[in-house]
Structure 1
Amino acid sequence: MYNQQIATFLKVADCGSFSKAADSLFISTVSVMKQMNTLEHHVGFLLLKRTNRGVLLTEAGKSFYCDAKKIIQLSDDAIQNASLIATEEENAKEYTIRVATSILRPCKPLVDLWAKVDDGTLPFKISIIPFDDSPAGMNDMLASLGNTIDCFVSPCDSISWQQKYQILQLRQNNCCIAVPRNHILSKKKMLTWEDLDHETLLLLQHGESLLMNQIREDIEKNHPLIHILDTPNFYDTTVFNECEKRGCLMESLDIWDQIHPSLITLPMDWNYKMTYGIIYSKNATTALTSFINLVKKELLNTTIS
């Protein structure tokens, strides 16, 4: 903020030597001497007496030294005071976290968790942005992630998502089977692999989901009597409608038990669970990163307790 030559002059005066000042400043002696020559040329008079034993201040140099010390101190104080004000202004800001939400990917798990974190003093508020679960709607929402949308909550074992985005795992949800209400299996409390024999099962197409790939491989290897019918990369309400229309079964999640009024979600006798979490950009803003860290801390506290 101030002329660096002034700081170098003060160091030379304190050390009484160009070489000692240079060592202290981690620069060459020649550089120190050039700075002093330039400074003296600029002010128009000598500030230092050069001797074989070092340097001494001239009378003008002594006066300049005292005032220069004040200049340096005033400059440092100005920076510190401005920094404190800037910090206070930053702390007083309120940041809006824009959370995308849809029928199949509601933001409620995050909102409920944030309610436990926010004591009313935190500088964050949540703004809900609706989107459509259709392939086009999903693609538009993902294209906005990191721009007009900060994050969303969803099943998150997508291979491409794990490569493109950051993911904070919230919980594990049970994989279940959705059954039309008029289907013979709808009366059961829990389904087994044998119940699925000779049935058509809607299942996410191979490749995108690690978990769905495992279920598919399990079926193809150990339960060949189950007929698999591929669905798109992303579930939307169309898939649920297709399940009801065909009268077939569908792999689903326990959190989706209220999606379609004509379908019943039944637990399945297997150990498959889907990771559910917050998905956000790898280039997250400082504000979003702070928000996520607070959520992460609450998750850790909940786990410990």
Structure 2
Amino acid sequence: MDINQLQTFIRVSEFGSFTKAGEQSFISGTAVMKQINRLETELNLKLFLRTATGVTLTPQGKKFLPYVHQLLALLDTAIEETRKVRLDDKQVISIGTSILHPADPFMVLWRQLAPRLSKFQLRLVQLQEDLTSSNREYALLGRSSDLIVGTFDNTTLKQSFRAIKLGAYHFGIAVRSDNPLAQLDTIKFENLANQRLLTVPTGISEKNDQLRSEMLNTVSSIRMVETDGRYDINTFNRAVDENIALISLTPWKDIHPNLVTIPLETKITVPYGLISTKFPGRITDNFLNAFLQVFNQK
């Protein structure tokens, strides 16, 4: 039995569905079902009744549920209190960072505001790849890190996250340096006529969907090539290998040595900021409230 299994047990009890619980964790319904099956086997308990329309807690599951809530709350408290002791009573906030979600934009701001938030200590955490998740870095929030610096829109915030906006990223088109588009100072939609353009599928990013719609309404011959999900480093390798243009964002302009990113002429931008789970825990919540107060006074 591990923490992930207990967190999954709570989500399944809330949503009454392996699939819906998986969507909240960015894993498949099958992966959720396997976690629950393993938990029931290890505990020798029947926690859920499975039906064609969903799952419901058994009497054993109902008895077990409040204890799981207490156990996870106690663990959160233990971690928070231990962090205080370890670093001279400073409240430690872990910021996740990765190639696709660099913490740099926030760290520049933090150096300006840190003197007014002296009771907090930041700790950078390298986000590890979670191959079972369709949204790896976001799925790790609350597990390996308290916060990440990333993009968000209504689609993101509907999936159990909260965000403090720090600014906006701009769209660009990333191409191989030997691609004719790389010679342009800016790219207009017309420059992409008859081009293959690598992008995420619809439904993942509201802003990306708006951009796609604007592009195709202007130039119908643009051929959208969809990735399997959100970008990972292999997406950028694919753009190089296939010499295909790719919709990119500000923080990714130097992500690959063989790609050049040209600014795209569009008024659509993507907000970015500090992202946490909706219920991040007391210390993280205190930090976000204190940061927001100082940030608004800047």
What TM-score range do you get, normalising by the shorter chain?
0.5 to 0.7
Structure 2 contact 152–272 (Cα < 8 Å) conserved: yes
Q: Distance in 1 between matches of 2:164 and 2:124?
A: 19
Q: Distance in 1 between matches of 2:238 and 2:136?
A: 23
The TM-score, its normalising length taken from structure 2, stands at 0.65
Superposed displacement of residue 132, structure 1 = 4.1
Match of 1:122 among 104, 110, 118: 118
Q: Distance in 2 between matches of 1:106 and 1:288?
A: 19
Report the CA distance shift for 1:134/1:230 in structure 2 as closer, same or farther (over 3 A): farther
Q: Which amino acid aligns with 2:214?
A: D
1:146 correspondence with 2:145 = no
Report the CA distance shift for 1:214/1:133 in structure 2 as closer, same or farther (over 3 A): farther
Match of 1:221 among 202, 209, 217: 217
The residue that corresponds to 1:265 in the other structure is 261
The residue that corresponds to 1:182 in the other structure is 178
Structure 1 contact 202–228 (Cα < 8 Å) conserved: yes
Match of 1:246 among 233, 238, 242: 242
Superposed displacement of residue 292, structure 1 = 1.4
Q: Distance in 2 between matches of 1:140 and 1:254?
A: 20
Superposed displacement of residue 299, structure 1 = 3.0
Q: What are the equivalent positions in structure 2 for 1:45-124 lying under 5 Å apart?
A: 93-119=89-115, 122-124=118-120
Structure 2 stretches of 5 or more lacking a match?
A: 1-83
The residue that corresponds to 2:25 in the other structure is none
Q: Distance in 2 between matches of 1:225 and 1:121?
A: 52
Q: Distance in 1 between matches of 2:117 and 2:147?
A: 22
Mark the structure with the bigger radius of gyration.
1
Q: Which amino acid aligns with 2:244?
A: C
Name the SS of the counterpart of 1:177 in structure 2: strand
Structure 1 contact 141–149 (Cα < 8 Å) conserved: no
Match of 2:297 among 298, 301, 304: 301
Q: Distance in 1 between matches of 2:109 and 2:115?
A: 12
The residue that corresponds to 2:270 in the other structure is 274
Name the SS of the counterpart of 1:98 in structure 2: strand
Calculate the aligned-residue CA RMSD, in Å: 2.4
| Count of residues paired in the alignment | 213
Identity %: 24
Q: Which amino acid aligns with 1:223?
A: V
Higher mean displacement: 217-226 or 198-207? 217-226
Structure 1 contact 150–288 (Cα < 8 Å) conserved: yes
The residue that corresponds to 2:160 in the other structure is 164
Deviations 1:255-294, CA, capped at 9 Å, x for gaps: 2111011111111121121111111011122221221123
Q: Distance in 2 between matches of 1:140 and 1:240?
A: 16
Structure 1 stretches of 5 or more lacking a match?
A: 1-88
Q: Distance in 2 between matches of 1:225 and 1:179?
A: 18
Report the CA distance shift for 1:151/1:208 in structure 2 as closer, same or farther (over 3 A): same
Structure 1 contact 114–295 (Cα < 8 Å) conserved: no
Superposed displacement of residue 245, structure 1 = 1.0
The TM-score, its normalising length taken from structure 1, stands at 0.64
The residue that corresponds to 2:49 in the other structure is none
